[in-house]
């Protein structure tokens, strides 16, 4: 999919042909009739997965709903997605740094703050200005493009993209959702239970952002991901909420968390914490528990359970956690054979059949558990097949 920028330029603007690029400007409606500072744009913009990710970031954390069109701004507390947003403007729109201002708002001053941001973004430190703000718990950067021409053309291009049928292309719709989640998404964790767990994955929107709500639910519906919507009028917000590990698995397969490292690590951390149970076939149960070397009481002590549970495990009426399976296989000198696991249960509710459709996610879950034990004797042995 491509966008021909020349077809979107307003009729009263002036165009200078620069080969692969065009230079755009127009005259002020003032007595002096001075031209606006020209801005360079590519003639053709390629709409791919990366472009849609950047678009999602700006729809979420940009000022696209702003009535005043004098400049374009983007704000974020995450260095990685702030850099992604800046690179998006530079690579896709040929934006030059000279047209950009950077403002950092901070609550607790850090003497190295400016230098860290400058190094990360690859910009001169003198481009950054700072100000104190009680509203921000942590430092936040605002990237501002100081050009009326850029602001207006950016919006024309974005609207042209959104008016195309991007939803029928998996990479494009997933890229857009990934960008929107990096900007507007959150992983809800319930810390009130004895063991924290992921309670929901949610997109937080302003109550008036109906256009973004429509995009998200259209993509989720196409991807067969169920959701609920809650309007929180008192907070002027709405939430698109996703429950259930079957949905979380689908989101993981879409790489939804990959654009924001902070959110990706949060998801990974919770996968390390959550219990994963294994439903084993009868033949594999006999193979593991039929050893003459270990009695049921010894197995119970080994895996941190008790004899009654071990008896039920042997009959297939009680499930082993993956940690227990690792310990037992290590003691017997066997490798964990994931292919012999029929189903896995994540937490207390969701079950996933160990089939071709779920294989990659189940393998990923088990590798996380192995990583968790990387410092132990268990993982020092070559037990993961």
Residue 15: strand, helix, or coil: strand
Residue (of 363, 340, 355) closest to 284 by Cα position: 340
Asked if residue 18 belongs to a domain, the reply is: no
Are 156 and 175 part of one and the same domain? Answer: no
Helices (H) and strands (E) in the chain, counts: 14, 17
DSSP assignment string, 39-88: EEEESEEE--HHHHHHHHHHHHHB-TT-S--S-EEEEES-HHHHHHHHHH
pLDDT tens, residue by residue, 50-71 = 999 999 999 998 887 776 767 8
Asked if residue 15 belongs to a domain, the reply is: no
Residue 44 has pLDDT above 50, yes or no: yes
Asked if residue 59 belongs to a domain, the reply is: yes
Are 213 and 134 part of one and the same domain? Answer: no
Q: Provide the 8-state DSSP code for 28.
A: -
Q: Structure tokens of 329?
A: 């296989």
When comparing pLDDT for 215 and 326, which is higher? 215
Asked if residue 30 belongs to a domain, the reply is: no
pLDDT tens, residue by residue, 11-42 = 888 889 888 999 888 766 655 545 567 889 99
Q: Structure tokens of 28?
A: 């002020």
Residue (of 128, 130, 132) closest to 107 by Cα position: 132
Residue (of 362, 321, 197, 187) closest to 270 by Cα position: 197
Residue 385 has pLDDT above 60, yes or no: no
What is the pLDDT, as a whole number, of residue 375?
47
Are 154 and 198 part of one and the same domain? Answer: no
Residue 374 has pLDDT above 60, yes or no: no
**Domain boundary residue among 125, 141, 164?**
164
Asked if residue 2 belongs to a domain, the reply is: no
Residue 200: strand, helix, or coil: strand
Residue 108 has pLDDT above 80, yes or no: no
d(CA 325, CA 287): 12
Confidence band, pLDDT 50/70/90 cuts, at residue 284: confident
Are 305 and 245 part of one and the same domain? Answer: no
Residue 201: strand, helix, or coil: strand
d(CA 199, CA 225): 16
Residue 246 has pLDDT above 80, yes or no: yes
Residue 61 lies in domain: 48-164
What is the pLDDT, as a whole number, of residue 203?
95
Average pLDDT of the residues in 332-361:
83
Average pLDDT of the residues in 208-236:
92
3-state secondary structure 139-195: CEEEEEECCHHHHHHHHHHHHHHHCCCHHHCHHHHHHHHHHHHHHHEEEEEECCCCC
Average pLDDT of the residues in 151-173:
93
**Domain boundary residue among 143, 164, 185?**
164
Are 61 and 104 part of one and the same domain? Answer: yes
Asked if residue 1 belongs to a domain, the reply is: no
**Domain boundary residue among 272, 295, 326?**
272
The strand order across the sheet containing 100-106 reads 72-76, 140-145, 100-106, 128-132
What is the pLDDT, as a whole number, of residue 162?
93
Are 246 and 282 part of one and the same domain? Answer: no
Q: Structure tokens of 158?
A: 């974005």
pLDDT > 90 fraction of the chain, expressed in percent and rounded: 39
């Amino acid at each position: 999919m491509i966008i021909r920028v020349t077809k979107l330029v307003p009729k009263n603007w002036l165009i200078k042909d620069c080969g692969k690029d065009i230079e755009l400007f127009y005259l002020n409606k003032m007595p002096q009739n001075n031209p606006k500072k020209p801005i360079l744009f590519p003639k053709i913009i390629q709409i791919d997965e990366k472009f849609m990710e950047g678009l999602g970031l700006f729809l979420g954390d940009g000022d696209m709903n702003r009535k005043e069109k004098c400049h374009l701004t983007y704000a974020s507390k995450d260095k990685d997605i702030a850099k992604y947003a800046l690179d998006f403007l530079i690579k896709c729109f040929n934006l030059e740094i000279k047209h950009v201002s950077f403002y950092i708002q901070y609550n607790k001053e850090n003497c190295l703050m400016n230098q860290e941001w400058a190094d990360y973004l690859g910009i001169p430190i003198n481009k950054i200005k700072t100000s104190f703000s009680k509203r921000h718990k942590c430092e936040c950067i605002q990237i501002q493009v100081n050009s009326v021409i850029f602001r207006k053309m950016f919006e024309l291009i974005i609207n042209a993209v959104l008016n195309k049928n991007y939803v029928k292309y998996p990479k494009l719709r997933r890229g857009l959702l990934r960008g929107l989640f990096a900007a507007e998404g959150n992983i809800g964790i319930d810390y009130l239970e004895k063991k924290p767990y992921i309670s929901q994955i949610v997109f937080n929107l302003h109550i008036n952002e109906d256009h973004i709500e429509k995009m998200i639910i259209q993509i989720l519906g196409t991807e067969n991901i169920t959701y609920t919507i809650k309007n929180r009028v008192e907070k002027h917000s709405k939430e698109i909420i996703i429950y259930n590990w079957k949905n979380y698995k689908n989101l993981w397969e879409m790489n939804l968390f990959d654009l924001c490292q902070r959110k990706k690590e949060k998801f990974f951390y919770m996968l390390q914490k959550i219990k994963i149970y294994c439903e084993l076939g009868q033949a594999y149960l006999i193979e593991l528990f039929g050893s003459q070397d270990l009695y049921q009481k010894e197995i119970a002590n080994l895996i941190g359970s008790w004899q009654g549970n071990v008896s039920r495990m042997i009959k297939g009426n009680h499930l082993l956690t993956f940690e227990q399976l690792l310990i037992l296989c290590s003691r017997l000198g066997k490798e964990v054979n994931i292919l012999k696991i029929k189903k896995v249960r994540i937490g207390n509710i969701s079950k996933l059949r160990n089939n071709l459709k779920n294989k990659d996610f189940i393998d990923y879950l088990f590798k996380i558990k192995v990583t968790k034990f990387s410092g132990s004797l268990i993982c020092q042995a070559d037990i993961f097949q």
